[in-house]
Amino acid sequence: MGKSRDTTPSRKPKKKRDKAFDLWLKRGLHQMFDNVVNEPIPEELLKLIQEDREKQD
């Protein structure tokens, strides 16, 4: 049943379009967020973590 639904002519282009949209969405999100992710961590934040680490040791 599932197979026949998948091979229905009207279903095929939609699935193909869904895949294309997913791919485009993923690329778009990466372009939007990757530069933020790759930015260096602020020194201030790292210092905060390091100070707490030393306090715990």
Partner 1 sequence: MTASFHDQVIAILPKLRVQALALTRNRSVAEDLVQDTVCNALSAQDSFVMGTNFAAWMHRILRNRFISDLRKKREVANIDDTPQSLLSVSGRHEDRLALKELDAALARLPDDQREALVLGVLEGMSYQELADIAGCAVGTAKSRVFRARRQLEIWLIGEEDDVSGKTGTESASRMSSTRRKTRTARNTTRTAQQTA
DSSP symbol at 7: T
| Cβ pair 23, 29 in contact under 8 A | no
| Minimum distance, C-beta of residue 27 to partner 1, in the bound complex (Å) | 7
Is there binding between residue 41 and partner 1 (CB under 8 A)? Answer: yes
Q: Which of 4, 5, 7, 37 binds partner 1 (CB under 8 A)?
A: 37
* Cα 11 to Cα 4: distance, rounded to the nearest angstrom: 10
Question: What are φ and ψ of residue 10, in 5° steps?
Answer: -70, -20
Site mask, partner 1, residues 2-31, x = CB under 8 A?
--------------xxxxxxxxxxxxxxxx
Interacting residues with partner 1 (CB under 8 A): 16-33, 35-39, 41-42, 44-46, 48-50, 52-53, 56
